[in-house]
Structure 1
Amino acid sequence: MIAVLSGLILRAVVVLTGTAVATFALLWHAPGDPALAIALARFGSQVPAEVVDEIRREAGLETGFWPAFQAWISPLLRGDFGQSSVTGRDVWPDLVTAMSYSFPLAILGLLVGLVISVPLAVIATRRPGGLLDRLAVALASMGTAIPQFWLALLLILLFAVHLGWLPAMGARTPTHAILPALALGLGVAASFTRILRSGILEARSQPFLPAIRRRGVAARRVERDHVAPHAAVPVITVFGLELAFLLEGIVVIEVIFARPGLGSFLVNAIFARDFPKVQAVVIVTAVIFVIINLVIDLLYRALDPRIGERNA
């Protein structure tokens, strides 16, 4: 077990290192003058050239790529995300405030997806090929094909503009989270329904199940002890990936619904070329993604020990 954990942690370190280097390189080589972008975001439209030069020296943009990267990564390894290039405030408190809006919304979207997909998949697999099964597959395929941003706009148009039932922008009350959660959750439900349906059908077709039933084992026990664990492996994969991708998709959703979360935090930082803020968002989401994948790998081995044997 120690060898397995060591290998997983080593892979996580490699992924995080590559993510840090790639993010810094993309920002460093982006078109335009980053010092000018920071100056415009800080002072407005009229910025003297000497002020731009001062900001360039202040941000370490004159030292070259690798010295600047080292100057950023060294404090980060000690848990210091640095100060904003625009406001001068510490990045971490502002990032925590943004995450306090985004993480609950991501969890709520995931719950919406589970509440819709699990009953739909179970009902669909009762009679494979029947009317309900075909309807569930059609709805899941439509949900997968519809872009998330377009679905969000449709929800705003229907429930906020035409019906006037729900607010479309802001995050002042719990009702402001309903439409963004639906926009996130419906996409999750589409993926979960397809994967869960396929997993259940595959688990029920296993050749050893008829022998178990002939022994007189109750159908509920067969579903619980044999079908459910077999069907859970692909579902766990999708569950973990969807939770990670929700944190990425939430950026677009929060911008559309004008929510003060990671979306507006990241977009404003990108436009202002605020390197510390952009890098902080990318690193935090990468850490979350790596942790989720680590937990998934451990759950695999708990559900199916043969996975650990094949990787040994």
Structure 2
Amino acid sequence: MIAGVIGLVLRAVVVLAGAAILTFALLWHAPGDPAQAIAMARFDALLTKDVIDQVREEVGLNASFWTAFLDWVGPLLVLDFGNSAVTGRPVWPDLWAAITYTFPLALAGLAIGLAISLPLAILAAKRPGGLLDRCAVAIASLGAAIPAYWLGLLLILLFAVQLGWLPAMGARTTAHAVLPALTLGLGVAASLTRIIRSGILEARGKPFLPAIKRRGVSPKSIGRDHVAPHAAIPVITVFGLELAFLLEGAVMVEVIFARPGLGTFLLTAIEARDFPHVQAVVVLTALLFVTVNLIIDVLYRVIDPRIGGHHA
């Protein structure tokens, strides 16, 4: 068990190192002159060649690729993202301010998704093929097919434009978070409903369950001790991936609803070619994905140690 976890941690470190190198390489070799873009974002005026050359020297664009990468990745090991190439301020305070908007929104979307999917999947799995089951599968399939940006626009048209119940743009009050969180939550509910339902039905079809029933074990104990652990494995997988993808979805939803957060933070940084800001968001996202997958793999071993060798 311990050796398996150590192997997973080492694999996570390799993935993070690869993500860091790839991120830096893509930004380094992006088309256009980053020094000119940074200078324009700083001074917002007609620029001379001397000013552009000064900016290039100041932000280290004259150095070789590997020299610049090592200068960047060294502080990154202690989560020091350096200073903004545009404003000169440390990246962390601005990044943290964006996180305080995005993470609560993502968690609210996850809570809505669970509140909808869990009871719906359990009710649907009670009578496979019944009316409720068919309706649940149809609704979940429809929800999974609708992109988040399209669903967000539909909710704006209905609840903000037509009914006038909720605000569509900004983040001043709790009401401003309802439509973005609902947009994320409905997408999560669509995926989780199908997976939870399928997991329950598959677990109920295990060949050893009839023998356990003949021993006189109560249905409640069978569900708790046998069905739930087997159904939990695919559910944990999708739940973990949804948790990681919610960050990406929240970035898109923030742009649609004109909310501050990582979405606005990232778009502004890309337009200004502010490398430290862009790299901070990408590395943070990669760290989240790797951490979630690591937790999932460890949970696999806790729930069913027999599959440890398969995932190691």
Partner of 2:50: 50
Q: SS of the counterpart of 2:164?
A: coil
C-alpha deviations, 1:122-175, integer Å up to 9, x for none?
111111011111111111111111111110111111111111101111111111
Does the Cα contact within 8 Å between 2:266 and 2:277 map onto a contact in 1?
yes
Equivalent residue, structure 2, for 1:187: 187
Q: Which residue of 2 aligns with 1:265?
A: 265
Task: Show the 5 A alignment for 1:14-93.
Answer: 14-93=14-93
Give the structure 1 partner of residue 128 of structure 2. 128
Question: In the TM superposition, what are the counterparts of 1:192-203 in structure 2 within 5 Å?
Answer: 192-203=192-203
Q: Distance in 1 between matches of 2:310 and 2:168?
A: 50
Q: Secondary structure at the match of 2:126?
A: coil
1:297, 1:310 → 2: CA distance? 10
Q: What's the TM-score, normalizing by structure 1?
A: 0.98
1:277 maps to what in 2? 277
Superposition map of 1:163-182 within 5 A = 163-182=163-182
In structure 2, how many angstroms separate the alpha carbons of the residues matched to 1:49 and 1:162?
53
Q: CA, structure 1 residues 310+30, in 2 after alignment: closer, same or farther (shift >3 Å)?
A: closer
Aligned alpha-carbon RMSD (Å)? 1.1
2:297–2:311 contact (8 Å) kept in structure 1: no
The alpha-carbon distance between structure 1 residues 214 and 13, as it changes in their structure 2 partners (threshold 3 A), is: same
1:115-154 matches, cutoff 5 A: 115-154=115-154
Q: Tell me, which stretches of 5 or more residues in structure 1 are unaligned? A: none
Give the Cα–Cα distance (whole angstroms) in 2 for the partners of residues 96 and 181 of structure 1: 20
Distance 1:224 1:50 in 2: 71
- Paired amino acid for 2:91: V
Deviation of 1:63 after TM superposition, in Å, equals 1.2
Shift of 1:311: 4.9
Change (3 A) 1:235 1:61: same
- Residue 269 of structure 2 aligns with an amino acid whose one-letter code is A
Aligned residues: percent identity? 70
Moved more, 87-96 or 73-82: 73-82
Distance 1:4 1:95 in 2: 34
Tell me which moved more, 215-224 or 135-144: 215-224
C-alpha distance after superposition, 1:1-46 (max 9, x if no partner): 3311211111111110110111111111111110111111111142
Answer whether contact 2:171 2:259 (CA < 8 A) is retained.
yes
Per-residue Cα deviation, 1:77-130 (whole angstroms, up to 9, x for no partner): 233210000110000111111101111111110011000001111111111011
Matches within 5 A, 1:218-229: 218-229=218-229
Count residues with an aligned counterpart.
Answer: 312
Show the counterpart of 2:307: 307
TM-score by length of 2: 0.98
Letter in 2 for 1:9: V
Amino acid at match of 1:203: A
Stretch moving more, 261-270 or 46-55: 46-55
SS of the equivalent of 1:125 reads helix
Quick one: distance in 1 between partners of 2:69 and 2:234?
Answer: 39
- SS for the counterpart of 1:30 is coil
Corresponding position of 1:95? 95
Partner of 1:294: 294
Q: For each residue in 1:177-203, what CA deviation from the matched residue of structure 2 results, as whole angstroms up to 9, or x when unmatched?
A: 110011101110010011011100001
Distance in 2, Cα, partners of 1:13 & 1:305: 23
Measured after TM superposition, the shift of residue 308 of structure 1 is 1.5
CA distance in 2, matches of 1:198, 1:260: 37
Offset, 1:284: 1.1
Give the gaps of 5 or more residues in structure 2: none
Secondary structure class of the residue paired with 2:258: coil
